[in-house]
Amino acid sequence: MVLPFSHICAGGDEQAEKSGPIQIVSDRLDAYNEKGLVVFSGNVVATQEDKIIKSDSLFLYYKKKEGESEKTGGPAGILKPGEIDRIEAEGNVRMTQGERIVTGDKAIFYNDEQKIIVTGNTVMQDGDNIIKGEKTVVFIKENRGVVESGPTGRVRATIYPKETKNGTLHLKESN
């Protein structure tokens, strides 16, 4: 169930060429070129094709080109996808793609490692199937994920298998 979320935040060069642009809408945008940071705050909605990330704030950290000075760098916020270092979403984080939903208090996408970490009462839902934990890590390149418990509780999963024509049970997948 974790694996379908692996490409919600994917933003490497190869993935970006196959995907459309990322549209980000917020109440405010603050750009800090010297820090390689663009901050979107207030009702943030980031959309790329059918993938949507909503949060209270979104921090987009980008890599500066070698030898690029703070004064001669291009306009902050004008990025090529391969220049993204990481993206952090904080506060009421909700990532969706079709029937697939991941929620938590904070999410960080690490571009070079192709890894997403969601923390704080994480809930993953795919159709009727639900997995809850304190921390969820998705390893995009490895096509796998891990859900961890926290000090206040254990990992909980509710999975609805479906029966095939030959009587074998399989996990029910959303369309």
Residues of the chain whose pLDDT is less than 70? 1-19, 65-82, 163-175
Q: Is the pTM of this model over 0.85?
A: no
Model confidence pLDDT, tens digit, residues 90-132: 999 999 888 888 999 999 998 888 888 999 999 999 888 999 9
Q: Domains of the chain by range and CATH?
A: 3-122+134-152 (2.60.450.10)
Those residues whose C-beta lies under 8 Å from the C-beta of residue 91, and which sit 6 or more positions away, are 55, 56, 57, 105, 106
The one-letter code for the residue type at 9 is: C
Beta bridge partners of 147: 136
Those residues whose C-beta lies under 8 Å from the C-beta of residue 143, and which sit 6 or more positions away, are 3, 6
Burial group, residue 136, by CB count within 10 angstroms (0-12, 13-18, 19+): buried
Task: Identify the pLDDT of residue 100.
Answer: 84
